[in-house]
Amino acid sequence: MNFLRRKIFKIFGYYSLALLLPIKFLYASSKKIVNRNLSEEQKEIMFNEGTERAFTSSLLSEKRKGTYHCANCGALLFDSTAKYDSGTGWPSFTEAVPGAFNTKVDYSFGMKRIEYHCANCGAHHGHVFADGPGKTGKRFCNNGLCLIFKPSQ
């Protein structure tokens, strides 16, 4: 049974990869690495749609006032007033700075999710869901490694 499941996954995995490759290629042209000091893990998340392991971000416990910026290009993305503890293991926000992100529909892992990218440099940051607690009703689920926190003075 397990073998069969693995086989099905393998076949579908390859198919979706083949379908996604041309899209990925087109998409990649709009992305640019600005920060040459990004770690391999940061590059994997930001430019290969990776995801950091849950509950690993040091920003989860960040409660100071300040602003969150793109770790690649430095663009302003979130204000600390929008941050909340969603319990998911990733830094979460109820709203982003207007115009900070572009979104696209992501069908990976058999789910339909809204993926968002830095509007300035194209780096992938996370997914936005419609179950947020604020008046926007949104939950921006952001990889902590993609963010730089700047505490207000």
CB of 2 to Zn ion, least distance (A): 41
3-state secondary structure of 67: strand
| For Zn ion, the closer CB: 16 or 75 | 75
| For Zn ion, the closer CB: 30 or 108 | 30
**Binding-site residue total for Zn ion (CB under 5 A)?**
8
Interacting residues with Zn ion between 10 and 39 (CB under 5 A): none
CB of 63 to Zn ion, least distance (A): 24
**CA distance to 16, 54, 112, 118, per residue, from 109 (Å):** 10, 17, 9, 22
Burial of 50 (0-12, 13-18, 19+ CB in 10 A): middle
3-state secondary structure of 141: strand
118 binds Zn ion (CB under 5 A): yes
> Can you read off the two tokens belonging to residue 130?
């419609």
Tell me which amino acid residue 127 is.
H
Our answer to whether residue 121 is catalytic in this structure is: no
147 binds Zn ion (CB under 5 A): no
42 binds Zn ion (CB under 5 A): no
Site string for Zn ion, 78-117 (x = CB under 5 A): ----------------------------------------
Backbone phi and psi for residue 45, each to the nearest 5 degrees, phi listed first = -70, -50
76 binds Zn ion (CB under 5 A): no
- Torsion from C-alpha of 126, 28, 48, 39, nearest 10 degrees: -100
- Which residues of the shown chain bind Zn ion in the complex (CB under 5 A)? 70, 72-73, 75, 118, 120-121, 123
Q: What amino acid positions are annotated as catalytic residues?
A: 141
